[in-house]
Amino acid sequence: MDRSDFPLLVEWLAQPHVAQWWGEPLNLAGLEKEYGACIDEKDPTEVFVVLAGVRETPVGLVQFYRLSDNPQYRYAVGVETAAGVDLFIGERARCGHSMGPRLIRQAVDMIWKRYPDVTCTMAGPSMYNIRSHRAFEKAGFHFVRQVSVPDELEDEAIYVCPRPTSW
């Protein structure tokens, strides 16, 4: 992702199916505050705009990070030596067509390659985001527990996918 993607992200984050789970939509200044350090490689979180189809149309966002880079969050979720993954599909027409599980599997493959030290990948969707729960389960994650995370409005459902022994 780079700053030229910000106008598209403003549009996606304002979509009801995204805003319901990602909070108040951000404007360009809000996106700069949220993602500028990632783009400038001052924050170790890796953020990507997802491209789909032969025309490589932008359809969503995925980000991943080592939990060790955010000790407070790691403590709150109770998962050690893990990488976290967050995503959304911004294009509503792409929802409900198994894109979520495919995107999650691709992100996990990238995590295994980039972070050889992590033993699992975790996700923490809202306890109420059943569509997200199903996507993670279809991608090979299993539910571990419900947690309350400081500064989050809703409890998170912690899902974990262990690193395969073949990696």
> 21 pLDDT band (50/70/90 cuts)?
very high
Name the average pLDDT for the chain: 92
**pLDDT at residue number 167:** 54
Taking 60 as the threshold, does the pLDDT of residue 140 lie above it? yes
User: Is 75 inside any structural domain?
Assistant: yes
Q: How many domains does the chain have?
A: 1
Residue 82 belongs to domain with CATH number: 3.40.630.30
Residue 143 near residue 123 (C-beta atoms within 8 A): no
> 166 pLDDT band (50/70/90 cuts)?
low
Q: What is the Cα–Cα distance from 119 to 57, expressed in whole angstroms?
A: 33
User: Is 58 inside any structural domain?
Assistant: yes
User: Is 167 inside any structural domain?
Assistant: no
What percentage of the chain carries pLDDT values higher than 90? 82
User: Is 82 inside any structural domain?
Assistant: yes
